[in-house]
Amino acid sequence: MTTDAKSRIEDTVKANDVVLYMKGTKEMPQCGFSSRVAGVLNYMGVDFVDVNVLADPDIRQGIKDYSDWPTIPQLYVKGEFVGGCDIITEMTLSGELDTLFDTSGVAYSKDAADKIRAANA
């Protein structure tokens, strides 16, 4: 990973409460997994920064090295790596994501989170 990519990633995850490294953007995801995680965050009303890894090969590889996680999307909350699509899906359905947002002071719609769980029960 280039030093530049690493410092840009660090700056982004430290400067923003919630960051999603994804393929595409939150308005136009370019893969199903990115779409699912962005969809959950959008539906829950979470204010998050999206970083399109397809627009920058250094960041696309750099984020995998940074987190030591092989896949994209990757969700960061308060500078900490949370997980990819499967982990975020599980955390949403179990209520762990609500707890993480609550303890991190991240605003979200509890009602929307409950609706996601009800729809997947």
Rounded to whole angstroms, how far apart are CA atoms 6 and 64?
Answer: 10
Cis (ω within 30 of 0) for the bond into 57?
A: no
Query: Are residues 22 and 72 in contact, defined by beta-carbon separation less than 8 angstroms?
Result: yes
Rounded to whole angstroms, how far apart are CA atoms 65 and 30?
Answer: 21
Does the annotation place 31 within a ligand binding site? yes
Helix (H, G, I), strand (E, B) or coil at 72: coil
Binding residues: 31
Binding residues for [2Fe-2S] cluster: 31
